[in-house]
Amino acid sequence: MTQTVILGVIGSDAHVVGITILEQALEAAGFDVVNLGVQSSQEEFVETASANDAEAVLVSSLYGHAKQDCEGFHRRIAEADLDVTTYIGGNLAVGQDDFEETRAFFREMGFDRVFDSETDPEEAIDALMADLDMRTTESERESQAVSA
Ligand code: B12
């Protein structure tokens, strides 16, 4: 079964190259990708994920305002009753930061994985395949338990 991934650049950010590369790599890996493009709002991510019954939401941010742009994002996801894996990646803080602090911040916010601007798309795809397979296995186990 094809797995659907929602991809976009959040907030007022207009850096398009990274998500274009990610979109192509994800499609080549067999994912069904809905690319929201740049300057996408939290509502657009959530509504599109819901409308497409997506398995994952991938947020990109380059211009340094990701912390502000993602505030309340996971609350909206919970309110929409979405069961999605969430990743964020790019240049997530202003200037030269300690990336481990940045990663911890976004993990605390609710993102399942946090990627820096050196990320090779294949790294994200490997992680996604592992995470989504794990989710499938868990739900398969649950339905087997129910029918047993
Ligand atoms: C090109 C560019 C622009 C172009 C964008 C053109 C366009 N439409 O795309 C223009 C000139 C418009 C621009 C504008 C600005 N820019 Co600019 N820009 C860049 C630049 C030079 C390259 C970005 C790029 O295309 N990289 C190539 C792609 C392939 O790499 P990438 O975007 O990093 O994406 C990869 C990874 O990050 C990762 N990734 C990204 N997202 C995600 C998401 C997930 C889930 C995952 C897994 C991985 C992932 O995978 C991608 C593929 O490998 C960078 C500097 C740099 N070297 O990165 C600055 C940079 C991003 N820009 C910066 C800034 C500050 C701005 C402006 C605010 C400047 C200003 N004062 O106006 C504006 C913002 C405008 C806006 N509204 O967004 C800063 C951000 C600083 C920060 N975060 O602290 C940077 C880092 C430059 C710098 N060193 O200061 N910019």
The total number of structural domains in the chain stands at: 1
Q: Whose CA is nearest to atom 91 of ligand 1?
A: 15
- Domain range for 15 is 4-147
Q: Is the pLDDT of residue 147 over 60?
A: no
Q: Is 13 labeled as catalytic in the residue annotation?
A: yes
Give the Cα separation of 125 and 45 in Å (integer). Answer: 19
Write the DSSP symbol of residue 7: E
- Residue of the CA atom closest to atom 57 of ligand 1: 117
Distance of CA 39 from the midpoint of ligand 1 (Å)? 13
Question: Would you state the pLDDT for residue 137?
Answer: 63
The pTM is what? 0.94
Q: What CA–CA distances, in Å, run from 14 to 39, 111, 130?
A: 6, 22, 30
pLDDT band at 134 (very low <50, low <70, confident <90, very high): low
- In tens, the pLDDT along 9-53 reads 999 999 999 999 999 999 999 999 999 999 999 999 999 999 999
User: What confidence score (pLDDT) does residue 94 get?
Assistant: 87
Q: Rounded CA gap, 88 and 67, in Å? A: 11
CATH value at residue 25: 3.40.50.280
Catalytic site includes residue 32: no
Per residue in 86-116, pLDDT tens?
999 999 998 767 899 999 999 999 999 999 9
Query: Residue 3 C-alpha to ligand 1 middle, in angstroms?
Result: 28
Ligand 1 atom at minimum distance from 123 CA: 47
Residue 120 pLDDT more than 90? yes
